[in-house]
Amino acid sequence: MKKTIFLLTMGMIFWSCEEDFNPYGEFKEKFILNCVLRGDSTFQLASLTKSYNPSTFNPNVVSEDASIYGADVRVRIGDSVYIFSDSIVNRADTTRYKTPFHFYFHDYIDLPANKDLELEVLLPSGQRLTSLTKTPQKVQFDQRSEDVISEDSPNFLQFFWNISFTGQYFAPRLIFKYSKTNNGSTQVMIKEVPISDLFEGGLAEHTISVQSTLNVEMQSIRKALEEISAGDPNKANYTIYESALVQVLAFDQNLSRYYSTTNGSLDDLTVRIDEKDYSNINGGYGIFASYIKGEYKIKFLSSFIQSFGYKILISN
């Protein structure tokens, strides 16, 4: 299950092996390598596929999996070399492909900030694919960032952090942890607060962007706190952890460039190979990139949490 979740996340930024082609020209096989190293997990993934030549104008008639098996996939970080293993996972949708999805993984790579990364893949055919990238600098929050959530907080809480380069993209969020006790059993959960950007013209939903600031509406925080116990009159069964977290995923240059060239959309599961797509794979197509995670603690004031009828767990 854990591998499936990570795989689906990776799939959001994978190139596809479907490509526009001239049926009357000579078909040339192309290799597609995707590896986005994650700073919010030590479990890392890579996918390796090849292009194919459909017999008709409809590429969907091809139902054979285009994954490449038996390749040597390795990542170098400084003096350390990490060799990936191959594995499979069942597909959620078997309408077209009936066989499991094949991928490569390493179960422990702790990604450091501001480090050069090298990817090298040796195909069973003897061909080699390579790429370079560099992780962003450590995410550091500005002292102007809010540090307390209370009844007297402003309508918008603002958070600021550094950038590593011009055009860097970020994916921020605000979360808090809470527990619920029911019949002597306690369950710990995470709640994400809806966030938005404040502009002169009003509010806009916050998505991945180049902004190194985050604006969180106090009304959204109150609403999130109310939602965790909606319909339950026993508010005292809920305990809020004192420290909420602002989490920021900071993209490296290659991932930022890729996101920019896809017009700010990582929603499509298929990215076609054409001149507008960004690739940094030598000997093939695809993306080798990374992102790191930064965190910033902001404390709930006890009286604010107690106003909802909840308990608060004070950090040591």
Contact 106, 85 (CB under 8 A): yes
Parallel, antiparallel, or unpaired: how do β-strands 72-77 and 170-182 relate?
Answer: unpaired
Q: E strands within the chain?
A: 31-38, 44-50, 72-77, 80-83, 85-89, 101-106, 116-122, 128-134, 148-149, 156-160, 170-182, 185-193, 196-199, 202-205, 213-217, 238-241, 243-251, 285-300, 311-313
One pLDDT digit (tens) per residue for the chain, 316 residues: 444 434 434 444 444 444 454 554 676 789 999 999 999 999 999 999 997 666 666 666 666 778 899 999 999 999 999 999 999 988 888 777 778 889 999 999 999 999 999 999 999 999 999 999 999 999 999 999 999 999 999 999 999 999 999 999 999 999 999 999 998 899 999 999 987 654 444 444 557 899 999 999 999 999 999 999 999 999 999 999 999 999 999 999 999 999 998 765 444 334 444 445 789 999 999 999 999 999 999 999 999 999 999 999 997 5
Identify the pLDDT of residue 315.
Answer: 79
Identify the pLDDT of residue 98.
Answer: 77
Q: What is the 3-state secondary structure (H, E, C) of 77-109?
A: ECCEEEECEEEEECCCCCCCCCCCEEEEEECCC
Residue (of 46, 49, 52) closest to 20 by Cα position: 52
Q: Is the pTM of this model over 0.85?
A: no
d(CA 225, CA 223): 5
The dihedral region occupied by 202, where left means phi > 0, alpha psi between -120 and 50, and beta the remainder, is: left
Amino acid symbol at 214: L
The partner residues of 47 in beta bridges, in order of sequence, read 34
Contact 291, 249 (CB under 8 A): yes
Length of the chain: 316
Q: How many CB atoms lie within 10 A of CB 266?
A: 17
DSSP 12: T
Rounded to 10 degrees, the C-alpha dihedral 270/194/299/229 comes to -120
| Residue 126: Cβ-neighbour burial (10 angstroms; 0-12, 13-18, 19+) | exposed
Residue written as tokens 């090849």? 50
